[in-house]
Structure 1
Amino acid sequence: MPPTYTVNDFDYDLPPELIAQTPAPTRGGSRLLHLDPKGDLHDRQFAELGRLLRPDDLLIFNDTRVIPARLTGHKATGGKVEVLVERITEDNRALAHVRASKSPPAGTTLRLADAFDVTVLGREGELFDLRFPSAVLGLLATHGATPLPPYITHAPDAEDVSRYQTVYAREPGAVAAPTAGLHFDEAMLDALAAQGIQRAFVTLHVGAGTFQPVRVQNLDEHIMHAEWYTVPPETVAAIARTRAAGGRVLAIGTTSVRALESAAAQAALAAKAGDDAARAALSRRQLAGPADGDTRLFITPGFSYRIVDALLTNFHLPQSTLLMLVSALAGVDPIRRAYRHAVAERYRFFSYGDAMLIET
């Protein structure tokens, strides 16, 4: 029987000064901790990544684009409010986190950015359903601020607008960056392509829940936050070509993992319902077709990866679902050892921090 883990098994001590507050001077200027298939650790530079890849590898990136989702304002009573748009549901409507001294009830009007009013229509769990006076994306582009993670202490500036966004971002909707992709610049992407390394894209709009620790001891009791994803037909075809060539699927970031493995879980349900094409594709570690929808996939040790062979990722928060995800891929003990090493060697942690390559 596999061991049973609690949230405490995914805790570790992190000196606060190791939390990166700013990005490296250049994209690609970070360090890279390499966990190889034998479980050995190697201290490298991110610029060495190409030497660790093979010509038949397929890199899968998340092309979501971070939106300027944070707004400040006040209620009619004068009380301050802070709004973080989590998901745009209609052109002029969104679900959002609202911080205020008292939760605004339905019917409340909030004045945001001293420029426009939104109306609280109700709640969906912890999120507030807000109606905007015009297109949400347009108002955010004019009045919103980059939603930096809670552990970054400075207010967003012009550098953050550029660097808290991947160079290949194209689908607006995320409120947190797919941070493994922040290390890549155009020169690195061109160099990898020249090596014959293929790339494809998924979209997963990262939500603010990515920063939340698991608050229950029994992992089975955790309610995973929902995120919208899509795996397009061209990525399905790229995976099939890679498998036919004997290559590996390497996810760039945990969000790419969640999209790919959510699509595989969807295919597994189809196979269970009698879809022979889905069953045959999964037997070859492929996908039978494109997939999209909301995912609440919670990957913990014991999970069987169907698509992903290797992962490039940043270092993750203690007791977080993402630390559990990487532990499911590499093993709990190897990840514990890697994180102890990273702390001892003064790697930089979290969104603006250093990278880790996990090969299995």
Structure 2
Amino acid sequence: MKTQDFYYDLPEELIAQDPLSDRSGSRLLVLDKRTGEIEHRIFRNITQYLKKGDCLVVNNTKVIPARLIGEKIHENQVSVMEVPGAKIELLLLKRRENDIWETLVKPGKKAKPGTKISFGDGLLVGEIIDTVEEGNRLVRFTYKGIFEEILDQLGEMPLPPYITHQLEDKNRYQTVYAKYEGSAAAPTAGLHFTKELLDEIKAMGIPIANVTLHVGLGTFRPVKVENIQEHHMHSEAYQITEEAADIINTTKQNGGRVICVGTTSCRTIESAADEQGIVHAGSDDTSIFIYPGYRFKVLDALITNFHLPESTLMMLVSALAGRDHIMAAYEVAVKERYRFFSFGDAMFIK
């Protein structure tokens, strides 16, 4: 199967640049994975497609303000206040040890081991100590105080490059149930839920299983190989509690549907399930790559956003609903002028 099999043409003006003022007011394309039948609804109508006995699985990771813009410190500089150096941008990807992070550095040619970068006039200083896979850099940070507080002060939300507008409210790139910090990108399908909508779902007798997968940029990296089976996914850390595993396993045993909110929740439970479809609690890393031909062990239905052409996420939804149904649905979404990507509209694959 070729990467180009998952290409579709998207007019640039359909890429959502700003979140809607009402999270649950976005549009919802409902796709029947068996028949390919399509319905057009509003996201808060999702309750009409859920029933007692189902469960929702959500990813409660929290995005950190992982984008840092600093200046290179020259070797002979006495103080970081002296002469401004070259601008360097860091994106925090994964915490390796307390003060050592795996990062994406731009421009990379200015980021050789030994390079020091000042952020916030020396409030935070990073030293590049090594190069790792894909050209990422390991950076050791030095600072006075609490790292998270400094990051909150200096860092920006790591919005995807296709979003060019400034985000006025940092919380709009967080789900309302975000809890555990560690992601470099939001699990965006969850952005459509409000606390009120979640309360309504719980009142229907539908339990919510909270899992945690810290989203790295590997999920969004372009597939550069022609044959998709040669693509290598980066690993991401996940955790599933006993409570979440029990909710999911009980739902399956009782014949209910396990409905994942987002591809990250899907990848988490599929990674933690054995061949019998039983989800096991615990922490691990996953580099699972789901593409057509994959047999889902746990997931029955998926709430998701509209994804980039030729992305691994297009391949995942095609594994669930069939490539032909997905490509036809995307063609309809473009024609009906749905909003695409992180701040865009949603799809429910039932």
TM bucket (normalised to shorter chain) is over 0.9
State which of 27, 38, 45 in structure 2 corresponds to 1:48.
45
Which one of 170, 177, 180 corresponds to residue 168 of structure 1? 177
Cα RMSD for the two superposed structures: 1.3
1:236-273 Cα offsets, whole Å, 9 max, x none, are 11112112321000000000011011112xx34xxxxx
CA distance in structure 1 between the aligned counterparts of 2:229 and 2:304, rounded to whole angstroms: 25
The aligned residue for residue 276 of structure 1 is none
CA distance in 2: counterparts of 1:226 and 1:48, whole angstroms: 35
- Residue 121 of structure 1: aligned partner: 129
Counterpart selection for 2:91 from 84, 93, 104: 84
Q: What is the distance in 1 between the residues matched to 2:300 and 2:232?
A: 26
What CA distance in whole angstroms lies between the structure 2 residues aligned with 1:113 and 1:214? 35
User: What CA distance in whole angstroms lies between the structure 2 residues aligned with 1:118 and 1:252?
Assistant: 36
Corresponding residue for residue 16 of structure 2: 20
The answer to whether the Cα contact below 8 Å between 1:35 and 1:41 also exists between their aligned partners in 2 is: yes
Do the aligned partners of 1:315 and 1:349 also contact (CA within 8 Å) in 2?
yes
Once structures 1 and 2 are overlaid, which stretch shifts more, 239-248 or 185-194? 239-248
- Whether the aligned pair in 1 keeps the contact of 2:18 and 2:165 (CA below 8 Å) is no
Matched, 1:196 2:188: no
Work out the CA distance in 2 between the residues paired with 1:260 and 1:190: 23
- Displacement, 1:300? 0.6
Give 1:71-110 correspondences, 5 Å limit.
71-77=68-74, 78-100=85-107, 102-110=109-117
Question: Which string of whole-angstrom CA distances, capped at 9 and with x for unpartnered residues, describes residues 54-97 of structure 1?
Answer: 11110000000000000001112411100000011222121111
In structure 2, the residue corresponding to 1:189 is in which secondary structure?
helix
The one-letter code sitting in structure 2 at the alignment partner of 1:51 is Q
Amino acid at match of 1:230: Q
Alignment equivalent of 2:57, drawn from 60, 67, 80:
60
The answer to whether the 8 Å contact 1:213/1:319 transfers is: yes
Distance in 2 (CA, whole Å) between partners of 1:67 and 1:347 is: 28
Contact 2:55 2:206 in 1 (8 A): yes
Corresponding residue of 1:253: 262
TM-score (norm 1): 0.90
> Are the aligned partners of 1:94 and 1:136 in contact in 2 as well (CA < 8 Å)?
no
Q: How far, CA to CA, are the matches of 2:108 and 2:93 in structure 1?
A: 20
How far apart in 1 are the matches of 2:3 and 2:156? Answer: 33
Deviation, 1:101, is: 6.2
How many angstroms apart in 2 are the aligned matches of 1:332 and 1:71? 38
- Find the aligned partners of 2:47 and 2:214 in 1 and give their Cα distance: 27
Shift of 1:156: 3.1
How far residue 45 of structure 1 moved from its aligned partner, in angstroms, is: 0.7
Contact kept? 2:219, 2:233, Cα under 8 Å: no
Shift of 1:47: 1.3
1:74/1:112 contact within 8 Å kept:
yes
Matched, 1:153 2:153: no
Unaligned runs of at least 5 residues, structure 2: 75-84
SS at match of 1:357: strand
Task: Verify: 1:144 aligned to 2:155, yes or no.
Answer: yes
The change in CA–CA distance for 1:332 and 1:101 in structure 2 (over 3 A counts) is: closer
Give the drift of 1:143: 1.1
Distance of 2:148 and 2:297 partners within structure 1: 36
Q: Which residue of 1 aligns with 2:78?
A: none
Give the match for residue 339 of structure 2.
348
Cα distance, 1:24 vs structure 2: 1.3
- Tell me the distance in 2 between the aligned counterparts of 1:230 and 1:127: 24
- The match for 1:179 among 163, 175, 188 is 188
- What percentage of aligned pairs have identical amino acids? 48
Match 1:237 to one of 217, 224, 246? 246
Question: Match of 2:310?
Answer: 319
Counterpart residue number, 1:221: 230
Classify the secondary structure of the residue corresponding to 2:25: coil
Structure 1 residue 212 displacement after superposition: 1.9
4+ aligned runs moved over 4 Å, structure 1: none
More moved, 242-251 vs 318-327: 242-251
In 2, distance between residues paired with 1:101 and 1:211? 19
CA distance in 1, matches of 2:297, 2:310: 24
**Cα-to-partner distance string for 1:202-223 (whole Å, 9 max, x where unaligned):** 1011112232220110112111
Deviations 1:148-172 (A, max 9, x none): 1111002333x2x011100000000
